[in-house]
Amino acid sequence: MSAINYSDKIPNNVNLSEDRTLQRALEHWQPNYLQWWQDMGPDGSQNFDVYLRTAVSVDPQGWAQFGHVKMPDYRWGIFLNAAEQDRKIHFGDHIGEAAWQDVPGEHRANLRRIIVTQGDTEPASVEQQRHLGLTAPSQYDLRNLFQVNVEEGRHLWAMVYLLHKYFGRDGREEAEALLERNSGNADNPRILEAFNEKTPDWLSFFMFTYFTDRDGKFQLCALAESAFDPLARTTKFMLTEEAHHMFVGESGVGRVIQRTVNAMNQLKTDDVGKLRAEGVIDLPTIQRYINFHFSVTIDLFGADQSSNAATFYSSGLKGRYEEGKRVDDHILKGNTYKVLEVHNGQLLEKEVPMLNALNEVLRDDYITDSKGGVDRWNRIIEKAGIPFKLTVPHKAFHRNIGTLAGVKVSPDGRVVNEQEWNQKVEEWLPSDQDRAYVGSLMGRVTETGKFANWIAPPVMGINRQPVDFEYVRFN
Ligand SMILES: [Fe+2]
Ligand SMILES: [Fe+2]
């Protein structure tokens, strides 16, 4: 593992200078990437000095160095975690064999597809968030948005490195295509549906980073188990950055709730109209945003039964979340798992072969994990003495993929008919009015240490800096 040389055109810890062909190919891709960042990256941000962390090495002291930088000058680099000596494949049909340092021919198409699908989400989220800087509720929040954006850019670099190094000409073409698809573009959209949705306001942004970046965490964790060692090492390092994205979401929603319950106690009311007149976001609206982002995100795990999922696992391409901590045989032939199906208008559990249900296994692990933050949000409400509880909706609610796409289900898990759905949908999902109201609150706050009215300040600043630190110099 060499130290990272920041005078290199492309900072890296993969000895890029020793592979001239690869270096040239990536240096050819780099200006296209920068052009994409100009065209599709954060709007109106080119000249600000932003207090960002940059990875300078993968060890604990070096992966987060803080300082003010102009975003287009951010050093997007290529970093892999250190190789584990004699790493063995620890699940699937090849269990016990040496991990692959190159791509086996028979798995080439599937691995490429997995890497491209992951890679596509990274620039997609930057595109989804590109206008949010114009309405940031504080310098602190603007800095966090930009931190998330530059790191998603780096995650794209991570996947593009794998494509260029291991997939030859096909890989180079895929790397170009990652810059050509655009979120929400009718002719050339991003691959996964949730990454074509709009992120129109900051409540959506916080929900996205809480729920959808957490999908990223689970996908990356599953890939970090891969028999293809370069993919495992790359995704492990991406995960260190992902934690901050979910923190931005969890703390962001928490601060919105804090501000709202403060206003509820001050005005002694839970009346939505009065709270909106005060300019805060009522708890039922926050619940509807949760319902939306949760349901759209759990679709990302794919169909509840999938022969692809079985193939990816058995061939060693993609493990389960925390594969190494599980105590079964890690082969799973003969094991079963419960999935939901609709029978005579009722949701019923059905046992199916676990290998085919691995999307559902990962989805269920995700659901358990995502409830933790919702519990912590509820503690803020409880502490304020307010009798209101946020929940994640039933997993069959508002689904668009798999068996459950065919039924209408309420947030508490009742199958409902079309009529009831239409009557209640505005109680369950953000309505146009909700979105217009939240949108009306958005306006950029640029003064150091000041926060928009609809959100409480954070408890702590970034990197032990005070909350009123100058996180962004607008120049
Ligand atoms: Fe990412
Ligand atoms: Fe992320």
Q: What pLDDT is recorded for position 1?
A: 44
Taking the centre of ligand 1 as the mean of its atom positions, its distance from the CA of residue 123, in whole angstroms, is 8
Taking the centre of ligand 1 as the mean of its atom positions, its distance from the CA of residue 351, in whole angstroms, is 34
Q: What pLDDT is recorded for position 2?
A: 47
* Cβ count within 10 A of residue 34: 14
Rounded distance, CA 54 to CA 241, Å? Answer: 10
Cβ(362)–Cβ(321) under 8 Å? yes
Give the end-to-end CA distance of the chain in Å, rounded to a whole number. Answer: 39
pLDDT values of the chain reduced to their tens digit, one per residue, 475 residues:
445 555 578 888 899 999 999 999 999 999 999 999 999 999 988 889 999 998 877 877 777 889 999 998 898 989 899 999 999 999 999 999 999 999 999 999 999 999 999 999 999 999 999 999 999 999 999 999 999 999 999 999 999 999 999 999 999 999 999 999 999 999 999 999 889 999 999 999 999 999 999 999 999 999 999 999 999 999 999 999 999 999 999 999 999 999 999 999 999 999 999 999 999 999 999 999 999 999 999 999 999 999 999 999 999 999 999 999 999 999 999 999 999 998 888 999 999 999 999 999 999 999 999 999 999 999 999 999 999 999 999 999 999 999 999 899 999 999 999 999 999 999 999 999 999 999 999 999 999 999 999 999 999 999 999 999 999 999 7
Taking the centre of ligand 2 as the mean of its atom positions, its distance from the CA of residue 178, in whole angstroms, is 17
Rounded distance, CA 423 to CA 433, Å? Answer: 16
Name the closest ligand to CA 214: 2
- Name the token pair of 442: 């958005």
| Domain parsing of the chain, residue ranges | 16-473
Which one, of 213, 208, 210, 214, lies nearest residue 366 by Cα?
A: 214
- Residues with Cβ within 8 Å of residue 471, at least 6 apart in sequence: 50, 51, 139, 140, 142, 143, 461, 462, 465
Rounded distance, CA 273 to CA 238, Å? Answer: 43
CATH (residue range 16-473): 1.10.620.20
Q: What pLDDT is recorded for position 3?
A: 54
What residues form DSSP beta bridges with 278?
A: none
Q: What pLDDT is recorded for position 77?
A: 87
- Alpha helix locations (H) across 197-335? 202-207, 213-223, 229-267, 272-277, 283-298, 307-314
Name the closest ligand to CA 153: 1
Instruction: Scan for tokens 């409880």, then name that residue.
Output: 382
Name the closest ligand to CA 205: 2
Q: What pLDDT is recorded for position 344?
A: 87
Taking the centre of ligand 1 as the mean of its atom positions, its distance from the CA of residue 155, in whole angstroms, is 5
Distances (CA, A) of 143 to 140, 406, 453, 464: 5, 42, 18, 14
Name the closest ligand to CA 119: 1
* Cβ count within 10 A of residue 96: 8
What residues form DSSP beta bridges with 343?
A: 346
Instruction: Scan for tokens 């619940």, then name that residue.
Output: 287
For the purposes of burial, counting CB atoms within 10 Å of the CB of 444, is it exposed (0-12), middle (13-18) or buried (19 or more)? middle
Taking the centre of ligand 2 as the mean of its atom positions, its distance from the CA of residue 3, in whole angstroms, is 25
Q: What pLDDT is recorded for position 6?
A: 54
Taking the centre of ligand 2 as the mean of its atom positions, its distance from the CA of residue 403, in whole angstroms, is 28
